[in-house]
Each structure stands twice: as C-alpha cells, then as structure tokens.
Amino acid sequence: MTTVITRDNFGLIAGPCTVEGREQLLETARGVRDAGASVLRGGAYKPRTSPYSFQGLGVEGLRLLQEAKEETGLPVVTEVMDARDLEYVAEVADMVQIGSRNMQNYTLLSEVGRMGIPVLLKRGLAATLDELVSSAEYVLKEGNRDVILCERGIRTFETSYRFTLDLLAIPALRELTDLPVIVDPSHAAGRRDWVLPMSLAAAAAGADGILVEVHPEPDRAICDGAQSLALTDFADYADRVRRAAEMAGKEVSATA
Ligand code: PEP
Ligand code: MN
C-alpha cells in the first residue's frame, strides 16, 4: 500500500463511511475510481458511539468490498476493531484501518504488525503526536513497515465543529517519523462544505494523501451523511485537491 501513498506520491482514499449495500458501494467505487482515487474505503465493522446505532454489515460488508475491489481494481481499506475478525478482514483488505478509538489497543496493533498487512493508523481523539508514533511503533516492532499515519481531528474546547483538525500534525509528524502522513478532513469537519477547504489546506501543507467520505446519496446515508461528499461532486473535488498537492511538490498518483 505504501507504493500507492508514499512520502513522494500523493493519493486519495475515498468511499462511504460504512458499507450499506451492493448498489451503494459499487456505485461509489466506480465513481471514485473514475475520478482517480487510489484506494476505496468503506467500513464493515463500525465503532459507533452508541451501541444502539448501526454497527456495520460485518462479513456481508467484507463480501461486498471484495466485489467492489474485483470490479474496479481499486485496493480496499477497511477498519478492524477486534483481532478475532482480523483473519476475515485480511482476506479482503489491502490495508486495515485502526480507528481513533483503537489507537492505543496495543494487542491489536501487535497483531496487525505480526500479520504483515499494511496499516492505516488514525490518531486518537485525545492523543499526542508522540503517543501516535508510539502506537505505530507497536506495528513496526513486529517487522511491519507498511504503516500510514492519519490526522483526523482531535478534541479541544472548541465545539463549533466535530473535532479540531490539527494541520500542524503534518509537518510535525513528517519530522518525527519517515512514515506517510495523511489527513481525514471528513470526521473533523462533520460538515461536507468544510471538507474541501480543509482538504486543500492539508494537501498544501504537505499531506501525503487525503481520506474522504463519499456517498451517492449523502442525505440518506446510515452513517456520517452530513460530512460525506456527494459522489457527483467528487471529480471536481479530487481535481482541486490534486492541484494543491502538486503545488506542495507532490507526485500525484491516480489508478485511472
Ligand atoms: C472512520 O474512518 O469511519 C472512522 C470511524 O474514523 P475515526 O476512527 O477517525 O473516528
Ligand atoms: Mn465515518
């Protein structure tokens, strides 16, 4: 995976927050592929604040991700929350996401380290950069060098948006480690109209990629619809973000 998104190569990871069904996923996968995304995202196991919220389609979601991957040729990243699911997730995923809430789940980190599968590690909601790097070390220590770090917003006193996007994490992490650093503006903003400006800022600041939520019908999304870009807007969004990355001196990769 770190051949698609590297310190030199900028890439877009795009897709729905959660896999909801076949049409939703395949339509999104084709759309983001055609607009030049490098990787398809989609959650089959979802970490939800409330245990009564939709928790993801689980193995059925993985099966749909496999289908989307076969049809589009896009590599897939999906979250794993429990080491007991890892075997099934790794059969489909080209990269596993360790979500913010699991950033300090050290047994899970060691396990994905031993498995040798590429890892997308998201910063915890209240984690320092040193703590994020230490978590990455758990994976690296097992001999797995394929780790991408992701800034996704942290909790501060500010309540006007979902989380505070910490853009200084980009140059700071690039100094602290040699791992690629990407940004997820969707979960920080919580609102789709704030996703483009934060993506441009992140790309201009030297991010190695952007992870962004996209949905064919955001207003009907089961999860995170308010922050999801409409699929019809994605091609224009992707063009503009790639131009910002180029301005920052990046090579821009696109599978399409
Ligand atoms: C996600 O990427 O869908 C997600 C739940 O992210 P985070 O762990 O950053 O909240
Ligand atoms: Mn989400």
Task: Report the pLDDT value the prediction gives residue 1, as an integer from 0 to 100.
Answer: 59
pTM, two decimal places: 0.97
**∠33-122-133 over CA atoms, to 5°?**
130
**For 207-233, how does the pLDDT look when each residue is reduced to its tens digit (9 = 90+)?**
999 999 999 999 999 999 999 999 999
Question: Could you identify the atom of ligand 1 that is nearest to the CA of residue 47?
Answer: 5
Rounded Cα distance between 16 and 249, Å, is 29
Task: Report the pLDDT value the prediction gives residue 256, as an integer from 0 to 100.
Answer: 44
Identify the structural domains of the chain with CATH numbers, from first to last.
9-252 (3.20.20.70)
Rounded Cα distance between 178 and 175, Å, is 7
**For 146-161, how does the pLDDT look when each residue is reduced to its tens digit (9 = 90+)?**
999 999 999 999 999 9
Decide if pLDDT at 253 tops 80: no
Per-residue HEC secondary structure of 125-143 comes to CCCCHHHHHHHHHHHHCCC
- Let me know: does 137 contact 147? Beta carbons within 8 Å: no
pLDDT tier for residue 8 given thresholds of 50, 70 and 90: confident
Residue nearest to atom 10 of ligand 1 (CA): 100
Average pLDDT over residues 106-133: 98
- Report the 10 Å Cβ neighbour count for 209: 29
**Pairing label, strands 229-230, 39-41:** unpaired
Counting residues of the chain whose pLDDT is more than 70, the rounded percentage is: 98
Q: Kindly list the protein residues whose Cβ atom lies closer than 6 A to any atom of ligand 1.
A: 17, 43, 47, 99-101, 122, 152, 187
**∠235-191-52 over CA atoms, to 5°?**
115
Strand partners, 182: 150, 209
- Measured CA distances, 169 to 3, 33, 96, 212, 234 (Å): 22, 28, 22, 18, 25
Give the amino acid at 107.
T
**For 61-115, how does the pLDDT look when each residue is reduced to its tens digit (9 = 90+)?**
999 999 999 999 999 999 999 999 999 999 999 999 999 999 999 999 999 999 9
pLDDT tier for residue 36 given thresholds of 50, 70 and 90: very high
Decide if pLDDT at 172 tops 80: yes
Cα 241 to middle of ligand 2, angstroms: 20
Cα 17 to middle of ligand 2, angstroms: 4
| DSSP conformational letter for 77 | E
Residue nearest to atom 4 of ligand 1 (CA): 99
pLDDT tier for residue 254 given thresholds of 50, 70 and 90: low
Q: What is the mean pLDDT of the chain?
A: 96
